[in-house]
Structure 1
Amino acid sequence: MKQPIKGFSKLSKEGKIEWLVNEHFENPEEARELLKEYWHSNEKRQQLHDDFIENTMTNYFLPFGVAPNFLINNQLYTLPMTIEESSVVAAASKAAGFWLKRGGFKTEIISTTKVGHVHFNYAGSFETLSTLFEDWKPKFYEETEELTANMRARGGGILSIALVNKTDVLENYYQIEARFETCDSMGANFINSCLEQFAQVMRADIELRTDLSAEDRDLQVVMCILSNYTPECVVRAEVSCKVEELNDDKDVSPEEFASKFQRAVRIAEVEPYRATTHNKGIMNGIDAVVIATGNDFRAIEAASHTYASRNGQYSSLTHCKVENGVFTFWIEIPLALGTVGGLTKLHPMVKLAHEMLGDPNSETLMGIVAASGLAQNFAALRALVTTGIQKGHMKMHLFNILNQLEATPEERDAIVKHFTDKVPHHNLVVSKFCELRGIPVPKSGVNKDK
């Protein structure tokens, strides 16, 4: 039975690895070698990676790909995409090429406001709390002047502060709700620092209110934290063309394609089962660019799915219409992104990704990321309503199967050629592989004795 370890964080990196491989692996030497195999050969770079998180053992590599030919607001981009799922980069590239000939992607920043809260309990009357708040409010601004000076110099800062009564949903629960503009920074540290200063003002002031009853002085700050739900930090991206210009598939007329495509989007708007998969595909494109540019994909995911539920039912993030012979497909999505701070100046690949995009500001990056999600969704829906999703996806997955089989270059070429006009399901690929090798087809899975 495994035993807990005390003082693990105080061990050296080598000490942590020795404990890990001896405690959790049947072959400690093999595990140790694999961990070290993924260390960066440049010691300075490896130290940089070690410092990103705690208890770093090694690096976990993900493919860094690019999707060219994205025409966004009449400017051509090559998008960096970090993702492990096959067909995502290919699909985004194909959609970008399709819309390159039809005017490209148009984006618009709807708003860039972010929100944070001081969550607190108050047992006194709301009237007394409202009076207290009016006294606190100017102090909130005064006591955060040093914190906000640089942000204000760049055109940002605290936009508004309000008292919110939430006692209808939870006894004695109130909020100080503040709105912020954080410019090119994602702004989490800035917002949280301001909120904690607000809380200090509240605590200090209530301690001095000896004129109030015990109940009216009963205030407890629960927490101070920004919200990753950013429904006021939203970008719109769209593509449009005349219906007759949707003439890229010989098997489906432009009119039929537009009708089926619009219906597919409408299904995702009304059916949560479909909307979940529909939006997951959107996030394939969005997350890949968000990760490559050193932003927090988990925050983006959380905000996007909450936004998709804002009307009481989980629904599609994209929408489509056909009016007066014009096909329009668009997305509106909350994207709180940063181009300064965090990993943007630390991680070499993140710096490279930003340079590849022309070192965009946060608003430009919002548009680029939204376009990547719209392109991904267009490619998926286009496949679904024409050839089906598996044909293209499984062809990309073929290379994963061949790698698993450890096929030689000659075998790879022969198998890829064989499946040019066939869907390469796993069992069919294994059978063809065994045929080329002249060995029996295994009863299940990959042949272990190649």
Structure 2
Amino acid sequence: MPVENSRIKGLYKQTVQERLKLVAKAAGLTDEHVQALSNHGELDDVAADRMIENVIGTMSLPVGVATNFVIDGKHYLVPFCLEESSVVAAASNMAKRCLGHGGFTTNNDEPVMIGQIQLLDVEDFEQATTNILQAKHELITFCNDVPSRMIALGGGCKDLEVRRLNTHMGSMLVVHLLVDCRDAMGANAVNTMAERVASRLEALTGG
């Protein structure tokens, strides 16, 4: 939950409803959000408040917020839904220690996964590699020639790599499909592409 300031002094001393009001105001929660957090199910405020720190509601488990988080220069209250005590307090304390040093910074890599195809019994590795690289564009196009929301959103196979791998069982040619999965986990899409292109790689390499 983005907030102007994640430092809420003495939050743990408040009642559940008082905390909820403070957090709702700080984070700009709507009435619907507040109502959802106030729907206790089978767990009431008193029981939830004894289980973890900074309770503001329940989801059949206590919902608490860790304070003091500054991430990439912005303040956040971090929701926790769990039954174990001390976790929220520890997270808040750790974040408070980091606060004086600028908090936390994040970075991320491109959402690329690798599909690996191993080709055995290749007689001429140099020629096989050349054949694959010469057909790279066609192979990538073939991998992406399937109905896919991921591809429609700009993802899909973007590149491929070829290398020789020497093992105690002999040498093999390894092809990596570099697949941009966007926001998807991508395992099914990558496996489908690898299985789809495998026979073409066999034809190009004799493996």
What is the match of residue 114 of structure 2? 115
User: Quick check: which one's helix share is greater?
Assistant: 1
Q: Are residue 176 (structure 1) and residue 175 (structure 2) matched?
A: yes
Q: Contact conserved, 1:147 with 1:190, CA < 8 A, in 2?
A: no
Aligned-partner residue type, residue 189 of structure 2: F
- Give secondary structure in 2 for the equivalent of 1:122: coil
Residues 143 and 95 of structure 1, relative CA distance in 2, 3 Å threshold:
same
Aligned ranges for residues 231-246 of structure 1 at < 5 Å? none
Residues 78 and 187 of structure 1, relative CA distance in 2, 3 Å threshold:
farther
What is the match of residue 190 of structure 1? 189
- Give secondary structure in 2 for the equivalent of 1:108: coil
Q: Contact conserved, 1:114 with 1:179, CA < 8 A, in 2?
A: yes
Q: Are residue 103 (structure 1) and residue 123 (structure 2) matched?
A: no
Q: Contact conserved, 1:64 with 1:80, CA < 8 A, in 2?
A: yes
Q: What CA distance in whole angstroms lies between the structure 2 residues aligned with 1:179 and 1:160? A: 5
Q: What CA distance in whole angstroms lies between the structure 2 residues aligned with 1:158 and 1:115? A: 9
Residues 154 and 194 of structure 1, relative CA distance in 2, 3 Å threshold:
same
Aligned-partner residue type, residue 119 of structure 2: F
**What is the Cα deviation at residue 165 of structure 1?**
0.4
**What is the Cα deviation at residue 194 of structure 1?**
1.5
Q: What CA distance in whole angstroms lies between the structure 2 residues aligned with 1:163 and 1:99? A: 44
1:113-165 deviation line (CA, Å, top 9, x unaligned): 33221123134121232243235423322222333764344343323201110
**What is the Cα deviation at residue 174 of structure 1?**
2.1
Q: What CA distance in whole angstroms lies between the structure 2 residues aligned with 1:79 and 1:170? A: 51
1:272-311 deviation line (CA, Å, top 9, x unaligned): xxxxxxxxxxxxxxxxxxxxxxxxxxxxxxxxxxxxxxxx
Q: Which runs of 5+ in 2 are unaligned?
A: 1-41, 43-59
What is the match of residue 165 of structure 1? 164
- Give secondary structure in 1 for the equivalent of 2:150: helix
1:195-214 deviation line (CA, Å, top 9, x unaligned): 121213234x36xxxxxxxx
Q: Which runs of 5+ in 1 are unaligned?
A: 1-40, 42-60, 207-215, 220-450
What is the match of residue 413 of structure 1? none
Residues 134 and 97 of structure 1, relative CA distance in 2, 3 Å threshold:
closer
**What is the Cα deviation at residue 69 of structure 1?**
3.3
Q: What CA distance in whole angstroms lies between the structure 2 residues aligned with 1:170 and 1:65? A: 54
**What is the Cα deviation at residue 188 of structure 1?**
1.7
Percent identity among equivalent residues?
30
- Give secondary structure in 2 for the equivalent of 1:106: coil
User: How many pairs align?
Assistant: 149
What is the match of residue 34 of structure 1? none
Aligned ranges for residues 388-407 of structure 1 at < 5 Å? none
1:346-395 deviation line (CA, Å, top 9, x unaligned): xxxxxxxxxxxxxxxxxxxxxxxxxxxxxxxxxxxxxxxxxxxxxxxxxx
Aligned-partner residue type, residue 73 of structure 1: D
Residues 66 and 128 of structure 1, relative CA distance in 2, 3 Å threshold:
same
